[in-house]
Structure 1
Amino acid sequence: MTVSWSSPVRYVECDQQGVVFNAHYLTWADEASNVWWSATGLPWDTLTAAGGEPVVKASTLEWSSSARWGDTVTVDAETEKVGRTSATVRFTVRVDERVCCVVRNTYVWLSGEGAAPWPDDVRAKLTASTA
């Protein structure tokens, strides 16, 4: 399952040459993650009611080309891998069909006692969303 989020590139997200500053790709992945969590059947209020919350343990970014001021970016989010204690989501940032960056976030479940395996119902929904 792939879900998408999009936004125009704002001036504040760019350097003086009009090229998007690298950190904003992570911000866009975070924005798209809210759409992705909801699409998996796990909106944020449902997750926090389950006694914990997913947190980003690691992020990687791989750039292909620059997004620029005046572009509209679309971020396609899809579940790449689900394990017992983590899940990896791939966020492909593109302008039209041109890929600018791929962000991979690895999420872990954090309860009041620290990192823990996914609750069974959460893991079932994550697994069902795997591409």
Structure 2
Amino acid sequence: MAAQWSAPVRYVECDQQGVVFNGHFLTWADEASNVWWAAHGLAWDELVARGVEPVVKASSLEWSASARWGDTVTVDAETEKVGRTSVTVRFTVRVGERVCCLVRNTYVCAADGRSVPWPDDVRARLAEG
């Protein structure tokens, strides 16, 4: 199940050459993750209320082009892999059709500070689409 988030590149996100500083790609992936969780019918506050807290275990970024001040970035979020205790989401950051960066975040299901299996209903929703 895919989800999408979009925003204009803000001046504050750029260096002196007008190119987006690399750390903002993770921020955009985080923004898109909220839409991705919601697209799966998994509201963050409801998960936490159940004692399930998804935490980022690993992130990787692979750049192929710049985003610049004045551009509008779109982040496409798609499930890449669902495991027993984790899920990996691929965030494709693009300007128009030009891909700028691929971000992969692996989220681990945590409870009481340790990794635990996803509840069956959560895992089923993560595996949809």
TM-score, normalized by the shorter chain, greater than 0.5: yes
The corresponding residue for 1:2 is: 2
User: RMSD value over aligned CA atoms?
Assistant: 0.8
Could you say what secondary structure the match of 1:91 adopts?
Answer: strand
2: CA distance, partners of 1:127 / 1:115:
19
Unaligned runs of 5+ in 1: none
Per mean C-alpha deviation after superposition, the further-off stretch among 1-10 and 109-118 is: 109-118
The percent of aligned pairs where both chains have the same amino acid is: 77
Aligned to 2:29: 29
In the TM superposition, residue 113 of structure 1 has moved relative to its aligned partner by 5.0
Aligned to 1:76: 76
Query: What is the TM-score with the length of structure 2 in the denominator?
Result: 0.97
1:115 is aligned to 115
Residue of structure 1 equivalent to 2:43 = 43
Report what 1:62 is aligned to. 62
Q: Secondary structure at the match of 2:37?
A: helix
Q: Which residue of 2 aligns with 1:99?
A: 99
Deviation string for 1:11-53 (max 9, x for gaps)?
0000000000000000000000000000011011221122121
Runs of 5+ in structure 2 lacking a partner?
none
Q: Aligned residue pairs: how many?
A: 129
Q: C-alpha separation between the residues in 1 aligned to 2:94 and 2:55?
A: 25
Deviation at 1:121, TM superposition (A): 1.1
Equivalent-residue separation in structure 2 for 1:76 and 1:113 (angstroms): 30
Cα offsets for 1:78-127 (capped at 9, x unmatched): 10100101100000000000000000000001101511111111101001
Deviates more, 1:18-27 or 1:114-123: 114-123
Amino acid at match of 1:12: V
Instruction: In structure 2, give the amino acid aligned to 1:69.
Output: W
Distance 2:99 2:113 in 1: 40
Q: Under a length normalisation based on structure 1, what TM-score does the superposition of the two structures give?
A: 0.96
